[in-house]
Amino acid sequence: MSTTESEAVPAVGTDASGQADNVVVLKFGGTSVAGPERILAVARRLADLRETGARVVGVLSAMGGSTDELLALAREVSPQPPERELDMLVSVGERVSCALAAMALIDLGHDAVSLTGSQAGIVTDTAHGKAKIVEVRARRIHEALERGAIVLVAGFQGVSTDAEVTTLGRGGSDTTAVALAAALGADVCEIFTDVEGVFSADPRVVPEARKLPVLSYDEMLELSASGARVLQLRSVEFARNHGVTLHVRSSFSDGEGTWVTGEESERMLEKAMISGIAHTVDETVYRVEGVQAATLFSALAAAQVNVDTILQVGDAIVFSAPNEDHAATERTLGELGTRWTADAELGKVSVVGAGMKSHPGVAATAFATLEANEIEPVIVTTSPIKIACFVQRADVERAVAALHGAFGLGEPSPSGSEPQALPASKPVSKPGSESA
């Protein structure tokens, strides 16, 4: 099984008139196309945009829940379905959404065509279930746009260099949309979802979390890698590498969402020091002894394991990986004959913000907040714009709420402001306990 390091998108030629501008790429998630009424609403939005003169490309996900239903059906038939056949199966959902949307658009009086990932020219490597885009051959899309058609592209899928149907992993429709935006020369890729944008924390954990008007690519990368589920990590990497501005917004309103763009943008002028607190409980932490780092991580890469945190502690190597990769990780460690343990009872809480590069008080506030709330970090890692702490899973939500409050993220703050003083006398209550 081969993989490709680069995800370069080749230049796409202009059309016969010499114009390659005014292309708009819009991606709609599963909740946005969850039923006939929602698909009709998406079609009307696309039609309205086409009537302004824009050249419109819509990238659609499968109808909400349908991918999970297909996976469950597969496992009723086979306890271990082959990866190739799974890709053949789950790629159907996005095709259904696109065909239905095209029908609705034609009924609205517009020329429209639905395309599979293969027909749209999305070429990937050969890694089933986690394929990476290696090339976009958008000739067919250009031809349809030239004749004035609205193009509906099935997200999440492509065709491999071995001519096999492949899928791009959970959230892969985001990457499809961004890759097409880069290849077609679109200035902005609109990501329509069921939330109003990217928030300073998960509103289900912190009700006072606020929508962030703008994020840098690096901040969004760190948030996505740390558990924020609004955008697939790979789609943000693609956007940064190809200079595609992202606009994350709600399918259910016309309000402005969150812009993800370069540091040089005018939108970046008014920025808070800390942008958000992200968390995840979907990683397992492994401690491995008796193997060299190069050997270990080469074997994990060959097994398509997405390694996140890496630390070396004496002779031991500590790393984390998604729970969905647990079987592949365990199999690989067994084949290497190493001594290893796995801890699935930890969660990761991350403080993210470009402003921390020039504000040394961030770490002090973060650790004082955790200490005041009797939360002990088990593992700590940092980057120039992130502090990530692994804590006990039972403490994750308390840590998120405490850090969100300590940095004053519930209300907009002036650009460049210092962290708020820690309210050490007011730790977040543990479940079942009274506040201090």
**What pLDDT score does 85 carry?**
97
**What pLDDT score does 53 carry?**
95
Handedness of CA 113, 233, 347, 327 (dihedral sign): positive
Cα(165)–Cα(94) distance, rounded to whole angstroms? 13
HSE-CB at 427 with a 13 A cutoff on CA atoms is: 19
**Would you say 300 and 307 are in contact if contact means Cβ atoms under 8 Å apart?**
yes
* Kind and range of the H or E run holding 76: helix 66-77
Residues in the chain: 436
**Would you say 61 and 30 are in contact if contact means Cβ atoms under 8 Å apart?**
yes
Q: 153-174: per-residue pLDDT in tens?
A: 999 999 999 999 999 998 899 9
Quick one: tokens of 358? 């020039």
For residues 120, 121, 125, 128, the Cα torsion angle rounded to the nearest 10 degrees is: 20
CA–CA distance from 344 to each of 300, 313, 327, 394 (Å)?
18, 19, 13, 12
Tell the burial category of 3 from Cβ atoms under 10 Å away from its Cβ (0-12, 13-18, 19+): middle
Residues of the chain with pLDDT under 50: 1-19, 269-270, 413-436
CATH number 3.40.1160.10 given to 23-194 = yes
**What pLDDT score does 267 carry?**
52
Q: Where are the beta strands (DSSP E) in 125-272?
A: 133-136, 150-154, 157-160, 165-167, 188-193, 214-216, 245-250, 258-261
Residue with tokens 């790629």: 91
Cα(253)–Cα(240) distance, rounded to whole angstroms? 27
The residue type at 17:
S
Domain residue ranges of the chain, discontinuous segments joined by + = 23-194, 266-431
- Which homologous superfamily does the CATH classification assign to the domain defined by 266-431? VC0802-like (3.30.2130.10)
**What pLDDT score does 390 carry?**
97
